[in-house]
Chain A
């Protein structure tokens, strides 16, 4: 499939601009722009230049090692991979359903992760753009600038993240890359002390999360048309929903897809059947694959995932404060469907509020501190585990031989689903803001702002905050360097 601005009809003679690396995102990516003599954009591509190879080298490893090994894909939401792999391996060991304690402890771990990841993204990575403006002084447009101008907000961001990390630590053993979840269950209960430590701060986290929703709500209203129209494109969307009632559920459920107008495209698809639904396309210029819905074809089958898809895909959010905010959010679109990339931030904060409410309520549950931890049943040779990770639907699929070694592994990570949507948003922004103008750092940041809406984890591995230099090179058609700009080195 080829989209508008994806490939210039005659690239010869066009000026090339590269934004490399894209800053304030997780991982390493670059954007290239091709401009004609009039300064009009002819081609825009978001390239993912890291190659990880996990699907290959997981082959031949024992299945019980997989949940621990695959989480090394990422240092930001490793719990997603830890749990998606565990869910797939639950099927291998026949642990269906899990014990009550195991599922609740895993949920606590996962919602802790949603909270910490959403807090990190909003406060540390995106709030500088939202609070100071996309084209504001680059020296101030970072978390240090936020800490100086809005110290309370910066501190809340740090503490919300810390709380989420603590929920992960007490369930998995470590704040990053723990080992709690194992095939068939989990390896420890919560101690009373661990429970009480979290419980002490749980109400405060709900209050601060509510404050974050209020903040983005206000910024959205203040932003007016620019908030709604920035990088706007329409697409289908997909997420898991709770099977029995269509509620928002990050830990598991059935796949549901909606058309751009909000009508149901498919519903109730078992996670085990994802491969009947989705296929992946490879393009020569990016290491990231392009998934699409088989029924819709390569041209029309792309879709978005993540907070904006989830909050609009579900029938309701099963916690009162977040559900009230969801209704406000939907009402703000006047009955229509939100497709604005910036609305991701709003939906993300509603999800953070929901996570804080879920954690607070879970902590009253005695099953966290006692009860059966693991189960085993009839052995299977294949398993799929799907989870709603902070950035969207995460799919892990394995086949395991009789000798317990993995023979096949397929991973579709959240950011991969959003590959086409991010490219689309970047192209809209490039055409709107860059055409015919002198390129400045402020204008180029608009492109990064569009990418950041999706909170991409480009490598699922690296995390460099404020230390990565942004290098923009202007190269003429012969490949000669005409101009170079470096910031923040």
Chain B
């Protein structure tokens, strides 16, 4: 669960006095000492210490999912998902290294070519986590050949639109609908390259589910798949989530916007 911390001290601005007293164990992250409490993941411990590790499928309200792999770090020579790897005393973690940054960049580029991400006319632009990560990783082109998958939109619901073109399979909507809303409106179907988001109704249409616009699932999509109808582009430039500060700053505990 997300917590609020009062920054103190120079090296670990995200920690307060309580943390310092109760964290006797630590590991190093890019050379810096990071304290942790047993059971915390590397990603969580780093966040609490004010160090951002990029992620897309991880969310403070849900258990680690480990599917997007964007939070990859190098631990004692092995590449692991930092959201799903417990912090351990004395380990050496590399996150902001050229090698790891390049690996994340490739993962992001593959996400871009796998779907149809047309940022110039996407209403999520400026508030999209995928786009924000791409900016942070200085991605100028998709680099790989675009797949151009055929993914028709579902506009059947009176208040919500599903634009599957932009799905990155983070399953946040699937988890939110099942674990918080108790409705299981969404699911992933098939595997590998054929994997896609489906709606759990007999017709397959969102209108035939009991989803409500106020549900957690309707408000958690990090990209532009689950959208509230007739709201697009009402927020002007300069006031969108990532216009002023990058996701690497906003993704820290006391700035979480998700």
Chain A interface (Cβ within 8 Å of chain B)?
Answer: 60-62, 64-65, 67-69, 72, 93, 172-174, 177-180, 182-183, 187-188, 374, 403-405
Contacts and interface: CB of A to CB of B under 8 A. Distances in A.
B237 A174 contact: yes
A187 B126 CA distance: 15
A62 B233 contact: no
A65 B156 contact: no
B120 A72 contact: yes
Q: List 4 A-B pairs, minimum CB-CB distance, nearest first.
A: A173-B237, A69-B121, A403-B155, A188-B236
Contact of B230 (A187, A404, A405): A404
A187 B235 contact: yes
B229 A178 contact: no
B229 A62 contact: yes
B233 A182 contact: yes
B237 A179 contact: yes
B232 A187 contact: no
Contacts, number: 59
B233 A64 contact: yes
A187 B155 contact: no
Contacts of B123: 64-65, 68
B238 A60 contact: no
A51 to B, nearest CB: 18
A187 B233 contact: yes
Contacts of B121: 65, 68-69, 72
B182 interface: no
Given A64-B230, A179-B233, A173 B238 contact: yes
B56 interface: no
B153 to A, nearest CB: 7
Question: Chain B CB within 10 Å — which of A172, A178, A182, A405 has the most?
Answer: A182
Contacts of A65: 121-123, 232-233
Given A68-B121, A405-B155, 16 more contacts: A60-B152, A62-B155, A62-B161, A62-B229, A65-B233, A68-B232, A68-B233, A69-B121, A177-B120, A178-B237, A182-B234, A183-B230, A374-B234, A403-B156, A404-B161, A404-B229
B77 to A, nearest CB: 46
Contacts of A60: 152-153
A117 to B, nearest CB: 20
B236 A173 contact: yes
Contact of B232 (A64, A174, A177): A64
A180 B239 CA distance: 12
Interface in B130-182: 152-153, 155-156, 161
Nearest to A184: B230
Given A62-B229, A405-B153, A187 B234 contact: yes
A72 B121 CA distance: 8
A457 B122 CA distance: 25
Contacts of B122: 65
A62 B232 contact: yes
Contacts of A178: 237
